[in-house]
C-alpha cells in the first residue's frame, strides 16, 4: 500500500479533524499519511482557505505531532501544501523556518492574481483564452520548481479542473516544467482529486504527462487531496494502475526516502 501525502483538515479548508483522517487511512491499510494544509501568503483568501498567521501554523504543527503520538500504528507526517505566488518567497520562507517539515507540496492556485481553480472562477471571462491561462500557470509552476524549496509538485495540470483543455501547443510548456523538476530532483504528485470530478475524470497529471515524467526519471508520490476524512486514500488503486501504465514500478516513501514497489 502507498501513503497519502495530500490531506486537508479544519486547519485550512478541509472539513474534518486529523484523528478522523488517520482512522480512515488505517481502515484502508495505508502505511503512512501526511497532512498538507494550505500555507497561503497573506492577502487575498489568506484566512479563507489557508492556515493563516504564524500562531495558527504553530498550532497546526503541534496538532500533527500530537496526532502522530496518539497513533503509533501508522506513520503520520508533517507536511504543507504551499501556495506559490511569485514575490512572496521571503514571507513563506520565514514561516517555513519555524518548524521542520517532513515534506512540502508546491502548488499554484493563482495565475497573475486570478484564482483560476476557485468555484467562483468557473465562468470567469478570462477563460476565453484557455491557452493563456495554462501558459501563465506553467510559467508560475516553473518558477515554483526553480525555488528548489518544494519536495513535490502538487496537481501538475490543475487548470483542467473545470474541463477546459489547452491546445497541443502547451505540451512544450509542460515539458519545460518537467525538465526543471528533473534537474531539481523534484517529485511529482499523482493527485486523485480529478478522478472525483466528472469534468476531469483522470488524475492530475494526465497519463501522457506522467509517461514523460517517467522518461525523465522523475519519482512519484500519491495524494488524495482529501478535504474530508472519507476521501483519504480515495482512488489510489486506479492511480497506481495509471502510474504503472506510464512505466512506473515504484513510488517514493516520504518518511525515509525509500522507493517501494507499486501495488
Ligand atoms: Zn491545491
Ligand atoms: Zn490540496
Q: Could you tell me the distance, in angstroms and rounded to a whole number, from the CA of residue 193 to the centre of ligand 1?
A: 10
Q: In this structure, what C-alpha cell is assigned to residue 208?
A: 501522457
pLDDT number for residue 191: 98
Ligand nearest to the CA of 224: 2
Helices 54-70, 18-28: crossing angle, 10 deg rounding = 40
Q: Could you tell me the distance, in angstroms and rounded to a whole number, from the CA of residue 96 to the centre of ligand 1?
A: 18
Q: Could you tell me the distance, in angstroms and rounded to a whole number, from the CA of residue 75 to the centre of ligand 2?
A: 20
Q: Could you tell me the distance, in angstroms and rounded to a whole number, from the CA of residue 107 to the centre of ligand 1?
A: 6
Q: Could you tell me the distance, in angstroms and rounded to a whole number, from the CA of residue 109 to the centre of ligand 2?
A: 10
Q: Could you tell me the distance, in angstroms and rounded to a whole number, from the CA of residue 261 to the centre of ligand 2?
A: 25
Helix segments in 168-258, DSSP class H: 171-184, 207-215, 236-245
- Please choose, from the candidates 249, 171, 170, 240, the residue with its C-alpha nearest in 3D space to the C-alpha of residue 203: 240
* CATH 3.40.50.300 is the classification of domain 4-261: no
Write down the mean pLDDT value for the chain. Answer: 97
Reported as a single tens digit per residue, the pLDDT across 20-36 is: 999 999 999 999 999 99
pLDDT number for residue 44: 67
pLDDT number for residue 48: 80
Reported as a single tens digit per residue, the pLDDT across 123-144 is: 999 999 999 999 999 999 999 9
- Please choose, from the candidates 216, 208, 218, 219, the residue with its C-alpha nearest in 3D space to the C-alpha of residue 246: 208
pLDDT number for residue 221: 98
Global pTM exceeds 0.75: yes
What parts of the chain have a pLDDT lower than 50? Answer: none
Ligand nearest to the CA of 154: 1
Q: Could you tell me the distance, in angstroms and rounded to a whole number, from the CA of residue 81 to the centre of ligand 2?
A: 6
pLDDT number for residue 157: 98
Amino acid at each position: 500500500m502507498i501513503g497519502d501525502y495530500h490531506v486537508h483538515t479544519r486547519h485550512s479548508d478541509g472539513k474534518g479533524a486529523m484523528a478522523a483522517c488517520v482512522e480512515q487511512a488505517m481502515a484502508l491499510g495505508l502505511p503512512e499519511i501526511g497532512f498538507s494544509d494550505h500555507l497561503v501568503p497573506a492577502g487575498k483568501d489568506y484566512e479563507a482557505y489557508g492556515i493563516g498567521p504564524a500562531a495558527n501554523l504553530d498550532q497546526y504543527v503541534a496538532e500533527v505531532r500530537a496526532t502522530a503520538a496518539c497513533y503509533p500504528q501508522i506513520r503520520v507526517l508533517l507536511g504543507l501544501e504551499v501556495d506559490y505566488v511569485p514575490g512572496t518567497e521571503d514571507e513563506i520562507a520565514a514561516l517555513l523556518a519555524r518548524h521542520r517539515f517532513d515534506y512540502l507540496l508546491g502548488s499554484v492556485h493563482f495565475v497573475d492574481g486570478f484564482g483560476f481553480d476557485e468555484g467562483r472562477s468557473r465562468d470567469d471571462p478570462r477563460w476565453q483564452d484557455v491557452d493563456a491561462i495554462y501558459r501563465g500557470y506553467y510559467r508560475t509552476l516553473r518558477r515554483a520548481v526553480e525555488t528548489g524549496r518544494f519536495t513535490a509538485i502538487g496537481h501538475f495540470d490543475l487548470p483542467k479542473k473545470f474541463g477546459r483543455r489547452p491546445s497541443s501547443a502547451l505540451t512544450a510548456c509542460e515539458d519545460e516544467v518537467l525538465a526543471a523538476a528533473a534537474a531539481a530532483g523534484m517529485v511529482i504528485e499523482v493527485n486523485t482529486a480529478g478522478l472525483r470530478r466528472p469534468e476531469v475524470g483522470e488524475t492530475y497529471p494526465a497519463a501522457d504527462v506522467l509517461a514523460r515524467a517517467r522518461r525523465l526519471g522523475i519519482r512519484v508520490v500519491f495524494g488524495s487531496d482529501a478535504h474530508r476524512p472519507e476521501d483519504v486514500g480515495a482512488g489510489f488503486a486506479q492511480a497506481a494502475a495509471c502510474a504503472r501504465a506510464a512505466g512506473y514500478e515504484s513510488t517514493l516513501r516520504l518518511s525515509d526516502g525509500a522507493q517501494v514497489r507499486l501495488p
